[in-house]
Amino acid sequence: MSINKKILRVEDLRVYFHTKKGDSKAVDGNHFTMYENETLAIVGESGCGKSVTAMSILGLVSEPGEIMPGSKIIYMGNVDKPEDGLNLATATDEQLRDVRGNEISMIFQEPMTSLNPVFTVGDQIIENITIHESVSKEEARKRAIDLLGQVGISRPESIIDNYPFQLSGGMCQRVMIAMALSCNPKLLIADEPTTALDVTIQAQILTLMNQLKEKFGTSIMLITHDLGVVAQVADHVNVMYAGKVVETAPVGELFKNPKHPYTVGLMHSMPSLATEGERLAVIKGTVPNPLYLPKGCHFADRCPHVMPICREKQPKATKIASRHRVWCFLYEQEEVVQEEIVEVEA
Ligand SMILES: Nc1ncnc2c1ncn2[C@@H]1O[C@H](COP(=O)(O)OP(=O)(O)OP(=O)(O)O)[C@@H](O)[C@H]1O
């Protein structure tokens, strides 16, 4: 199987919020790689660090948050030295501004609140285009109409002059996607882009995102807590728990052969995956407070297979199959390759 070009490599990403009570370790040692033309879903319960991971990539972590020294977020799109990449964790404000919007765009959960209510959708898309490129207003308007058409809005030449409140939630999310795509980003980060929409519109937006990925070769990071959404659109999945990726795998492989007890628990709590008549399982206990993370595996207190070693130290990555890794002591005893730094390749 040929693998696309790498676009982002995250190594040992730690993001701490320095609070009066101590350091809240929102992200605590994340590793992953993203590829062109691939949708990576980041899945996990509320508070596990999905959004903070995305904000760090965009350089949007603000005080009291800090991307800790040693963290690497290597972006390999259009940068001066693609072979070295640009470390977004240590980039200057100017470099970050340049990457944001031009190279990496983001769409958020609430399309209505992300759009400015006092400007027409056209004004907002046109402004986004003209900030990043030197094109005339007429040319930018033409592009905006074209983009609105591409995201499935009918009569784009009239909708362009509407205000956000004149459009439905699903239409607003399409406008947000058009805006995010207006500068041909290499990487699109979508943070729960469909949670505020009803189920039919959700499906349409997810299909649209997949079509756009194919068409533009964009790499998409999709943040969600919904495994149904993951199954529908992801190529690859990172399962996060309490600030860390605990399992990473191609989507088919993850659903067929989940390894981490947390991944298995998540799957058993998903209605469409439970066998008929089977009661939905709930993962007992709660996510640890990021102020007081345990010394060993963060999932130990909730794990049905917990062993003494799990409370003593953190597991390393174990290779299960091509691009499938798990961080769990259950598998460290198997004869498989273990790695300190994970470059998830074939
Ligand atoms: N400004 C802040 N100050 C202190 N802690 C913060 C701040 N922002 C986020 N956190 C903490 O970081 C942790 C991770 O939050 P994050 O929003 O990334 O979770 P998430 O997985 O995206 O959850 P959700 O699905 O609910 O959005 C949480 O424990 C949260 O309380």
Q: Ligand 1 pocket by C-beta < 6 Å: which residues?
A: 17, 19, 24, 26, 44, 46-52, 65, 225, 290
Structural domains in the chain, CATH included, are: 6-103+186-275 (3.40.50.300), 112-184 (no CATH)
Does ipTM top 0.85?
Answer: yes
In the DSSP assignment, the letter for residue 320 is E
Residue nearest to atom 30 of ligand 1 (CA): 47
All residues at 6 or more sequence positions from 279 whose CB lies less than 8 Å from its CB, including other chains: none
All residues at 6 or more sequence positions from 154 whose CB lies less than 8 Å from its CB, including other chains: none
Testing ligand 1's pocket by substitution, the residue of 19, 27, 48, 287 carrying the most ligand atoms inside 8 A of its CB is 48
Q: Which residue has the tokens 């919007």?
A: 101
Q: What is the pLDDT at residue 70?
A: 95
CB 231 within 8 A of CB 273: no
Q: How does the average pLDDT of the chain come out, rounded?
A: 87
* pLDDT of 1 higher than 80: no
| Closest ligand 1 atom to 49 CA | 18
Tell me which H or E stretch contains 76. none
Model confidence over 13-65: pLDDT tens digits? 999 999 999 999 999 999 999 999 999 999 998 889 999 999 999 999 999 99
Give the strand pairing for 104-107 and 187-191: parallel
Per the DSSP assignment, residues forming a β-bridge with 244 are 241
> Which one, of 255, 260, 254, 264, lies nearest residue 318 by Cα?
260
Per-residue CA distances from 99 to 4, 107, 200, 222, 329 (Å): 21, 15, 34, 19, 39
Confidence at 3, pLDDT banded by 50, 70, 90: low
| Closest ligand 1 atom to 290 CA | 29
